[in-house]
């Protein structure tokens, strides 16, 4: 397998996603009331994550 350099944008978005998940888990464990907009934000992050997975799994065309 070939090594490749670190992609800064992917690292930044991955870090943001992990921070949001950690915040959500903390809020669930200490029972902080989340407004309904929290569900929309969570759903949007899940959709973005799924789009990223689809883009990463798609075969690349090389000539």
Long-range contact set of residues 53-56: C-beta below 8 Å, sequence gap at least 24 = none
Domain contains 34: yes
> Quick one: how far is CA 55 from the chain centroid?
13
Domain contains 63: no
Domain contains 3: no
Q: Is the pLDDT of residue 27 over 80?
A: no
Q: What domain range includes position 24? A: 8-57
Determine the Cα–Cα distance for residues 54 and 30; give it in Å rounded to an integer: 34
Determine the Cα–Cα distance for residues 41 and 20; give it in Å rounded to an integer: 10
What integer is the mean pLDDT of 35-59? 81
User: Could you give the number of structural domains in the chain?
Assistant: 1
The pLDDT value given to residue 33: 65
- What's the pTM? 0.42
Q: Is the pLDDT of residue 49 over 80?
A: yes
Domain contains 48: yes
pLDDT digits (tens, 9 = 90+) for 15-24: 888 988 888 8
| Whole-angstrom Cα Rg for the chain | 16
Mean pLDDT rounded to a whole number for the chain: 79
Domain contains 62: no
């Amino acid at each position: 397998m070939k090594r490749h350099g670190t992609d800064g944008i992917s690292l930044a978005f991955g870090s943001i996603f992990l921070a949001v998940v950690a915040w959500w888990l903390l809020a669930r464990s200490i029972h902080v009331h989340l407004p309904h907009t929290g569900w929309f934000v969570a759903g949007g992050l899940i959709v973005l994550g799924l789009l990223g997975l689809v883009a990463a799994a798609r075969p690349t065309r090389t000539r």
